[in-house]
Structure 1
Amino acid sequence: MRVFVTGASGWIGSAVTDELLAHGYEVVGLARSAESAEALTAKGATAHRGDLDDPDGLASAAASADGVVHLAFKHDFSDYAAAGRTEHAAVRRVLDALRGSDRPFLIASGLASHVTGRPVTEQDVSPHHGPDSMRGGGENLALEYAEHGVRSVALRFAASVHGMSDPGFVAVLTATAKERGAAGYVGDGANRWPAVHRSDAARLVRLALEKAPAGSRVHAVAEEGLPTRDIAAAIGDHLGLHTASVAPEDAEAHFGWMARFIGMDITASAAHTRDLLGWTPTGPTLYADIAAGAYRLPG
């Protein structure tokens, strides 16, 4: 099976590429640079040069594949709305290329929702619609095409997809803690983040490619919700720093762009995903990765 993977050289995408290659798939990976193309080729994948600003090129690569795993996104927090519009246009163009083929289209998404007081489940519909919404409303756009001959599946990743050398949110919090001299959290730090190890996330993507029916939402979540004050404590223990509460009104000054995320309270269940795909996470916990030096800083 020939699979076109966008974001194939990214944090999650590179692990997905490795997982697919290890299970006999032919991988064509989107590469924005010569360095990314060389890395993909060295693994045994085929590089397709391009980016999300070229939806026609993406559609051409998708049309020649047996399935698409769309993991790329322009993480430009200086103009997040424009990034969403780019995402929406690219996703729609690829979906149109797959229309009526019954081929799989898996799209990376998140767990942000209007649900409060309980974990988000796979049955909860994303509140984000249209190009001006979060991530361009890509999840709902993709799932609409389940009625048009595309086996579209939403891959909802935990806030922390962790592992050695993780460049994500926890890495930013670790760097901020070192800079500020304390591992911070907002308010009482009772708000929670879900987490999953990178290897488990990659395996879930492969299983979803193989098994998930059209219109599915699957949750890459191993730990349903870890209090941010406990994440801060784990970071502080690793760095030899104390923890500190940051008042909500001071969060932006302390955390910068991370302020919009660090105060979110998101918990999520993956019970349906585990039953549907036969997926059982086996990787280290987030706290174990922090203690093991996954977020080791220079200097």
Structure 2
Amino acid sequence: MRVLVTGAGGAIGRAVTARLRAGGADVVGLSKDPFPADGLAVVVGDAGDPAVVAEALRGGADAVVHLAAIPSPERDPALDVFSGNTRATFAVLDEAARRGVPRAVLASSYALLGMPFSPHELHPPYYPLDERAPAQVEDPYALSKAVDELTGEMVHRRYGTDVVALRFPFTADTARLAEAAAKVRADPASGARNSWAYLHVDDAAEAVWLAVTRPLRGFHRVFLAAAETLSPLPTAQLVAAHHPGVPVRAPLPGRRVPIDTSAAAALLGFRPAYSFPV
């Protein structure tokens, strides 16, 4: 199996390439900047440039994993965030699909719902959140992810490519999760925009592996998250305090994350292995 991974030099990208290689895949990385690649074949260039993507796909591929993106709207100009992210997604998926690559995995985001980066205080439509929850987009990053998912859906309809859009929450390694957990412990409100959700980067890599290798057809969008929140407080207490009045449609016992990840479990057989000790 040959897999192209864009954004291969990022935190998720490095974990994904390691997991794919451990599973026996021949991996080609695409990265905007050089990075220590440990023997990985890397094409350096912009994922939004079709010629660069074509070079990375020169040897063919059984799947593409598109992770390259500006990860937030907080530092770069809004136009760069939106246009850069959507251009890269279109370039990668369209180039791959026209070359007959049968599977694409797309890094979408919980932030697509609009809450994390909104200039206003937003509340979810209900808990537990699921893939039917309507977005409240107020920032260019969330907008780019909404368009990215539509691009994946279009590519499936036009070319027949099977596409999985993985909606990552805050995703990090153990050290960064420890920092985030300490912040949430000191100020539970700081985690409200993210629904106190997280995913360890190794679990993110496992989800990608499953999205690349599991038999499936069509276009799918699924939420991912660790089973429990980053807060030591009961989830029901957090929701009542920081999202008052939001309908709770199913019980949230203990520290259960208020995101329904059953679609990822059903489609991919994914169940997170990592639970951060708070």
C-alpha distance after superposition, 1:67-93 (max 9, x if no partner):
110111123623244212111112112
TM-score computed with the length of structure 1 as normaliser: 0.68
The question of 1:184 aligning with 2:193 is answered: no
- Structure 2 Cα separation of the partners of residues 281 and 172 of structure 1: 18
Partner of 2:109: 110
Q: 1:87 aligns with which of 85, 88, 92?
A: 85
Count of residue pairs the alignment pairs up: 242
> What SS does the corresponding residue of 1:106 show, helix, strand or coil?
strand
The question of 1:147 aligning with 2:157 is answered: yes
- Structure 2 Cα separation of the partners of residues 94 and 163 of structure 1: 26
Which runs of 5 or more structure 2 residues have no equivalent in the other structure? 115-123, 236-240, 242-256
Question: What percent identity do the matched residue pairs reach?
Answer: 29
Q: What amino acid is the match of 1:197?
A: H
- Structure 1 Cα separation of the partners of residues 190 and 56 of structure 2: 47
> What SS does the corresponding residue of 1:281 show, helix, strand or coil?
coil
Q: 2:144 aligns with which of 124, 135, 142?
A: 135
CA contact (8 A) 2:125 2:134 kept: no
Give 1:121 deviation, angstroms: 1.9
Query: Equivalent residues in 2 for 1:1-299 (5 A)?
Result: 1-34=1-34, 36=35, 39-40=36-37, 42=38, 44-62=39-57, 64-75=60-71, 77-78=74-75, 79-99=77-97, 101=100, 103-112=102-111, 113=113, 116-124=125-133, 134-135=143-144, 137-149=147-159, 150-159=161-170, 161-166=171-176, 171=179, 183-186=186-189, 192-211=195-214, 212-223=216-227, 225-226=229-230, 267-283=258-274, 285-286=275-276, 288=277
- Structure 1 Cα separation of the partners of residues 180 and 230 of structure 2: 17
Q: What amino acid is the match of 1:27?
A: V
C-alpha distance after superposition, 1:145-204 (max 9, x if no partner):
111222121011122x243233x7x74786x89xxxx93343896972222222221111
Change (3 A) 1:173 1:26: same
CA RMSD of aligned residues (A): 3.6
CA contact (8 A) 1:52 1:86 kept: no
- Structure 1 Cα separation of the partners of residues 74 and 108 of structure 2: 16
Structure 1, 10-19 or 72-81: larger mean CA deviation: 72-81
Change (3 A) 1:188 1:52: closer
> What SS does the corresponding residue of 2:206 show, helix, strand or coil?
helix
